[in-house]
Amino acid sequence: MPCYLKVLPIKKGEEIHESLDFYGAYTQLDINSDRAVVSLYSLNKYFDKVLPIFIDAIRNAAFFRR
């Protein structure tokens, strides 16, 4: 199974940030009236490790009320 299709355990935003930061990766969000873009920045050598984290965060986003 390709690395980007693996199911990962549910993580909070802070845990996702720490996982990406461990590999020196980060995300950037750009939103305007007609589009939204989420970008991932990573070193090539860690791309296979951070891509599954990034995809999981987008596919399984959960928003909890306080």
33-49 pLDDT per residue, tens = 999 999 999 999 999 99
User: How far apart are alpha carbons 55 and 46 in whole angstroms?
Assistant: 15
- Who contacts 52 (Cβ-Cβ below 8 Å, separation ≥6)? 3, 4, 6, 8
Residue 42: the pLDDT is 97
Kindly report, residue by residue over 1-37, the tens digit of the pLDDT: 455 555 556 667 788 889 999 999 999 999 999 999 9
Alpha carbon distance, N-terminus to C-terminus of the chain: 37
pTM for the model stands at 0.72
